[in-house]
A and B are shown apart, each in its own frame.
Chain A
Amino acid sequence: MTAAARLRLEHIVKEYPGCRANDGIDLTVAPGEIHALLGENGAGKSTLMKVIYGVIQPDEGTLYWDGEKLTLQGPAHARQLGIGMVFQHFSLFETLTVAENIALGLPASEARDRKKLEQRIRDVSTHYGMALDPRRHVHSLSTGERQRVEIVRCLIQDSRLLILDEPTSVLTPQEVADLFRTLRQLASEGCSILFISHKLQEVRDLCHHATVLRNGKVTGECDPTETSTDAIARLMVGDETPLSTDVPPATPGAPLLEVSGLSYASDDPFGTALRDITMELRAGEIVGIAGVAGNGQDELLRALSGEYKAAANQVRFDGQAVGQMGPDARRRAGIAVVPEERLGRGAVPDMSLVDNTLLTASAQGMVSKGWVAYRKVREYAARVRDRFQVKSDGVEATARSLSGGNLQKFIIGREALQAPKLLVASHPTWGVDVGSAVAIHQVLVELRDKGAAVLLISEDLDELFELCTRMGALCGGRLSPLVPTESLSIEQLGQWMAGDFADAAGEVNHAVA
């Protein structure tokens, strides 16, 4: 290691009303090092990142850049110093070209000569093995390509520290491999990388060093290549939380849900049309659908929940044609749905848990002749709260006041207690702490063992491989075959996630229209 660290943080404290987001954090990143910043949602990773990128000022503590004390004036100042950042949610203009998007972040003198800039983009992208055409419009790029634009944008500004926030959550396994190749090359040329993630396997594959945060504090540092995943996970979640669910093998029963030839053109101009979806779900199994968000997951969920109506026979449930039924009728028939957005769809943010119980559980004897029996609603809400260990300030607490994991436990519990025959859950553990995620997985497995069918739409491949009896992938509104999990390789799934269904056609005849 060279004398001066590229970046050193000393006792960083950042306090928000009611929460000490960073509580005395020390961190050192050496030149050319790929340094992982690990921690659950709410551990303080994002806050620390914003401090390093100059978005917010720490309340206490000091930053050192190349050994010198530093006070950042803002992100522009950070970029000027050579700190680049790739956010989880890209900040690109879809209607502009790659080169135009990159020019926006540059000083006028460099942005003006478009020809020279395009050449630089080509040079940088080919040097790091990230094929990119500077003249393409961003809206025509895949998610992986968009991420490359963000990375190239940083590299063109001669970044010497690149911060990546959960960069792999939007990528297929193959794209992840490409990204890692690029990052390794960058590091070998002396660029430091701060890699923020909660996926342990990736960190072990890629990173030289890891700092683990929990509740705003550093709980440990380790060399991830030599530390077991379980040991790192313990540092992240503490001692009490179970790390995973036991999933006994499933015993699928009779077909319950049959979707045949379902096509749906989205009302949303940026939505994805469903194309000829055909699938069958059996009682007592969990079927997983992988895929990068925005490939028709939301449309599929709506088509099953009844928010989108199809031809009656395109969706058959429990021997009944339900395609024309609305959400209320389908819920009565036994279909429960857990949408991706938990605040602002699955639950009303400013309403109490009691009111949010009434939102979808009203058919459980809570309403008679138009009058609400609030005593029954409160009892039900309290039952959900106790049974699923929802931490809240009573059942009158607003949905907004709950943490992501607790609210998700509440929403899933609210649906599970209605004893549905089919549960459709979209990204149920996204942004949820490990403890809650394990609890949610247990609920899904319990439902399965009671003879319900579960459709699990998720981006988290670990979760899918752990829980699912059968699985496939959704890409561009088309569904791959759903095959038994044990016979599915991650490479095959990756191809399906990228929309390559070619070699699947022979395997299962309904694959692609």
Chain B
Amino acid sequence: MLSLERRQVDSRLMEYLSPVLALMLTIITGFLIFLGLDRDPVEGLRLFFIVPISDAVGVAELGLKAAPLLLCAAGLTICYRAKIWNIGAEGHFLMGAVGATIAALQFGEGTGFWILPVVLLAGIACGALWSAIAAFLKTHFHCNEILTTIMLNYIALNLLLYAVHGPLKDPYGFSFPQSAMFGDAALLPMLIPGTRLHIGLLFALLAAVAVGVLFARTFIGFQLKVLGEDEKAAEFAGFPRKRLIWFAFLVAGGMAGLAGAAEVTGPIGQLIPQVSPGYGYTAIIVVFLGRMRAIGLILASALLALTFLGGEMMQIGMNLPKAMTGLFQGLLLFYLLTCDAFIHYRIRLTRKHVTASAGTNTPLATQES
């Protein structure tokens, strides 16, 4: 008989092996799905995972998609290490995009090197402000942050839609729900000429490294870890619980807000309703797949960025819906969580104890001594 047994010590090996295993299982399942859909599975997988990054432009596109994922994931890592289950990166991202747009539109075609920093700061501030609502609700009313942040995501989306249909709508835009194009001074410089890759990727890499350093070297990072591991110990040590929660929410909000700002000031250049294909949600997968460590986050954000590109290739090359992106992301998370069980548990073969003991199994309760 097979049984799951708690390990004496968590498996370090499994902690790092689990994402790799999950990816392999995802590919195998993808193979079977292509078979089931009557498509050539090898060609399908090649289109999904390899073709998108087979040239320089493709790699640049990968970086373009990985940057917002990585920024959101870096912020979420701070929350998740402290076991604050902030699901609100999507909302922070959208509000960051709206905030940056409001700022950018004030400057029109104006020039000045300070315009871009102001626009980005406006995005960071709006993301952090949006996050602050959930922080306030958690620290003052003990509201569960999972619920509040999800709800705030929908509110943020509707605010964005209101903005592009109303106050921020381009007056010369033929009534399309989108803002005016930003002036050049409000756009991010390019990283590689000839591609769409902008310096937002540098922000993201910097954020990932900063989060790594935060947890490896600083006392506040340590306090956040203790808060996540063992709230009673944090209380016993006298760590400032509320301040730590505020810190995690504000930094996560600011980073996701910056990601939103970098999206409208980068490849898009204006605010549109589809500014995010779900970066804030996908970033959650990045955090867990990347084991909440800087290098891991960078690799995982690249992989998840690939699923967005792969999904587009499916539409073009295989006549399959874009939902393939969500399907592969979901599979990946599902297998990751499954494999993660083996960090704490292991499978053990147990033999059933059947001792031959004839005649003694009958209850003897009625006998008197």
- The chain A residues found within 8 Å of chain B, CB to CB, are 6, 17-18, 31, 57, 59, 65-66, 68-71, 73, 77, 80-82, 158, 160, 190, 305-307, 326-331, 337, 339, 341, 344-351, 355, 358-360, 362, 367, 370-372, 374, 398, 401
* Known A69-B360, A77-B363: A344·B219 in contact at CB below 8 Å: no
Q: Are B226 and A351 in contact (CB under 8 A)?
A: yes
Q: Are B229 and A351 in contact (CB under 8 A)?
A: yes
- Nearest B residue (CB) for A374: B217
The minimal Cβ–Cβ distance linking A16 to chain B, given in whole angstroms, is 9
Q: Are A328 and B365 in contact (CB under 8 A)?
A: no
Measured CA separation A337–B222 after assembly (Å): 21
Stretch in contact with the other chain, from B159-167, B232-240, B279-287: B232-240
- Determine whether B8 belongs to the interface, using a CB cutoff of 8 Å to chain A: yes
The minimal Cβ–Cβ distance linking B67 to chain A, given in whole angstroms, is 28
- Determine whether B140 belongs to the interface, using a CB cutoff of 8 Å to chain A: no
- Nearest B residue (CB) for A81: B364
- Determine whether B357 belongs to the interface, using a CB cutoff of 8 Å to chain A: yes
Contact of B233 among A306, A331, A359, A372 (CB under 8 A): A359
Q: Are B360 and A350 in contact (CB under 8 A)?
A: no
Q: Are B218 and A370 in contact (CB under 8 A)?
A: yes
- By a CB distance below 8 angstroms, the chain A residues around B355 are 71
Contact of B238 among A17, A328, A398 (CB under 8 A): A328
Measured CA separation A330–B225 after assembly (Å): 23
Measured CA separation A190–B368 after assembly (Å): 11
- Nearest B residue (CB) for A377: B222
- Determine whether B220 belongs to the interface, using a CB cutoff of 8 Å to chain A: yes
The minimal Cβ–Cβ distance linking A10 to chain B, given in whole angstroms, is 13
* Known A326-B238, A328-B237: A66·B367 in contact at CB below 8 Å: yes
Contact of A371 among B217, B235, B237 (CB under 8 A): B217
Contact of A344 among B8, B233, B365, B369 (CB under 8 A): B233
- Nearest B residue (CB) for A158: B365
- Determine whether B10 belongs to the interface, using a CB cutoff of 8 Å to chain A: yes
Interface centre among A305, A329, A345, A401 (most CB of B within 10 A): A345
* Known A71-B357, A348-B226: A81·B365 in contact at CB below 8 Å: yes
- By a CB distance below 8 angstroms, the chain B residues around A68 are 360, 364
Measured CA separation A498–B114 after assembly (Å): 74
Q: Are B369 and A339 in contact (CB under 8 A)?
A: no
The minimal Cβ–Cβ distance linking B364 to chain A, given in whole angstroms, is 5
- Determine whether B109 belongs to the interface, using a CB cutoff of 8 Å to chain A: no
The minimal Cβ–Cβ distance linking B8 to chain A, given in whole angstroms, is 6
- By a CB distance below 8 angstroms, the chain A residues around B10 are 350
Q: Are A80 and B360 in contact (CB under 8 A)?
A: no
- Determine whether B353 belongs to the interface, using a CB cutoff of 8 Å to chain A: yes
- Determine whether B5 belongs to the interface, using a CB cutoff of 8 Å to chain A: yes
Q: Are A6 and B233 in contact (CB under 8 A)?
A: no
| Binary A-proximity of B212-225 (CB < 8 A = 1, otherwise 0) | 00000111101001
Measured CA separation A372–B5 after assembly (Å): 37
- Determine whether B37 belongs to the interface, using a CB cutoff of 8 Å to chain A: no
- By a CB distance below 8 angstroms, the chain A residues around B220 are 370
- By a CB distance below 8 angstroms, the chain B residues around A344 are 230, 232-233
- Nearest B residue (CB) for A355: B222
- Determine whether B2 belongs to the interface, using a CB cutoff of 8 Å to chain A: no
Q: Are A18 and B236 in contact (CB under 8 A)?
A: no
Q: Are B232 and A345 in contact (CB under 8 A)?
A: yes
Measured CA separation A198–B238 after assembly (Å): 36
Contact of B219 among A6, A65, A362 (CB under 8 A): A362
* Known A66-B367, A372-B219, A398-B9: A345·B236 in contact at CB below 8 Å: yes
Within 8 A of A (CB), among B270-306: none
The minimal Cβ–Cβ distance linking A259 to chain B, given in whole angstroms, is 19
Q: Are B353 and A57 in contact (CB under 8 A)?
A: yes
Given contacts A17-B5, A66-B367, A367-B219, list 16 more A-B pairs with CB under 8 A.
Answer: A6-B369, A71-B355, A81-B364, A326-B238, A327-B236, A348-B226, A349-B229, A350-B10, A355-B225, A355-B226, A358-B219, A359-B233, A372-B218, A374-B217, A398-B9, A401-B9
| Binary A-proximity of B47-79 (CB < 8 A = 1, otherwise 0) | 000000000000000000000000000000000
- By a CB distance below 8 angstroms, the chain A residues around B218 are 370-372
- Determine whether B361 belongs to the interface, using a CB cutoff of 8 Å to chain A: yes
Interface centre among B5, B222, B229, B235 (most CB of A within 10 A): B222
Within 8 A of A (CB), among B345-369: 353, 355, 357, 360-361, 363-365, 367, 369
- By a CB distance below 8 angstroms, the chain B residues around A371 are 217-219
The minimal Cβ–Cβ distance linking A300 to chain B, given in whole angstroms, is 15
